[in-house]
Amino acid sequence: MRCSGDSAAPLPSRFGGESGANGKQTNPLNRARQQAVVGLALLVPAVLSAAGNPAAGKALFEGKGGCLNCHSIDGHGGSVGPELDKIGLMRSQELLRLALVDPSAEVYKEYLTVVVTTKRGQKVEGVALNEDDLSVQIRDAQGNPRSFLKDDLRSVRRENRSLMPSAAGKMSATELDDVIAHLHRLRGPAPPIGPRTREPHRAYSEIGFLDRIGRDEEERPDTLVNSLEIRAGATVAEIGSGTGYFTWRLARAVGNSGKVYAVDIAQDRLDRTAASVAKHASGNVQTVLGAESDPHLPEGALDLVFIGNAYHEFSNPEAVLAAIKRSLKADGRLVIVEYAEGYSFSERDRSPRMSIDQIRSEIEAAGFEIDRVLEGARLLHTVTFTKAGN
Ligand code: HEC
């Protein structure tokens, strides 16, 4: 007997489900509730959660909140739910609130609740561990691994809900803010910051590669740009616009009241950018011919600088980053999208890949601070930064 429902592989990769921007399955039954919670979250917490007390939240997390029964931090705690070492980088405060108040609203596929019913009528709930021809293994809500012979079972179901109990009604508003403040600070160890060890690649992607069939499926550009939550009217620059693949999507995001500067160091690329913008978006894009060490952008003017699969090709990244820092407004963001390590397009593919730590150490060394790691397509790392010392 196989698990029924959509439970093909017992332990799919964490990034396997091509679902929401944060990689999770959205439970349709809960969408209305989720919107209600997000609505609330948007109305109230900006002020409240800023007031949350992270030390009190930590005490609650480790003590009466019972969170360590199921979650681990720095290798300590349970493993029913995901490790939370870097959760503050992975989730906004609104998503953290949603995870606590309505855990079933969005659940990773591998954490959907498995319900095992034996022929004698005993029911056990847990998360999937393993399945073979003869048996099923789950981890129950107390953290114990449990193994069942399929011959002894009446059914195995995977249900679209979380094993995590909701904090709603259990925690006061203040306690909730405190726990969120604590989770928001969990960012894992910072990578060593130092001079760059990587040699600049000095390559230039071929047009055929940039326009390849299947790129949308691989990179999910619409999800990516949506997940940046760019406000209408924003001023954005894209450095390395290439064939305009991301440019027109950014142009749509800022709308007619916004502006996009599309920078490249080759005029033929800028012509291609302009052509794809003309096809898909309106006239709010200005192309800018940049130099290898200077993107030629206005100072103190930008809400966001976007670099999509181009940073590893910069021949003088330090100079470009210094110029970006000058051109961003005080609260501006820098977005780096890079192909993830371990992913190769073909046998001949020798272009460099960067790990999140490598991206962090180079960008942070230039006077930026990590803000978020956005989940999206599995072959890309998307990391956002703000200016350090804000
Ligand atoms: C009975 C086990 C259990 C307990 C107790 C528990 N959790 Fe969870 N938690 C889970 C599981 C399973 C998931 C993954 C499914 C989901 O997203 O709800 C999860 C998910 C989460 C997530 C979302 C993680 C992500 O990657 O988005 C956060 C944040 C979280 N828990 C925080 C907490 C906090 C804080 C507490 C204590 C107040 C707590 N949990 C208590 C089982 C538990």
Per-residue pLDDT of the chain (390 residues; tens, 9 = 90+): 434 433 333 333 333 334 455 556 655 444 444 444 444 444 444 444 458 999 999 999 999 999 999 999 999 999 999 999 999 999 989 999 999 999 999 898 899 999 999 999 999 999 999 999 999 999 999 999 999 999 999 999 999 999 999 999 899 999 999 999 999 999 988 888 777 877 776 666 777 778 788 888 888 999 999 999 999 999 999 999 999 999 999 999 999 999 999 999 999 999 999 999 999 987 799 999 999 999 999 999 999 999 999 999 899 999 999 999 999 999 999 999 999 887 777 666 667 788 899 999 999 999 999 999 998 888 899 999 999 976
Q: What is the Å distance from ligand 1's center to 385 Cα? A: 26
Q: What size, in residues, is the chain?
A: 390
Q: Ligand 1 center to residue 36 CA distance, Å?
A: 20
Contact at 8 Å (CB) between 152 and 161? no
- Let me know: does 251 contact 282? Beta carbons within 8 Å: yes
Q: Distance between CA atoms of 219 and 388, rounded to whole angstroms? A: 29
Alpha-carbon Rg for the chain in angstroms: 23
Ligand 1 center to 69 CA (angstroms): 10
Question: What atom of ligand 1 comes closest to residue 179's alpha carbon?
Answer: 35
- CA-to-CA dists, residue 108 to 18, 19, 33, 125, angstroms: 11, 9, 18, 16
Q: Whose CA is nearest to atom 22 of ligand 1?
A: 99
The amino acid that residue 181 corresponds to is: A
Q: Which atom of ligand 1 is nearest to the CA of 163?
A: 12
- Rounded Cα gap, residues 380 and 345, in angstroms: 12
Q: Which atom of ligand 1 is nearest to the CA of 167?
A: 38
CA 86 – ligand 1 centroid, Å? 14
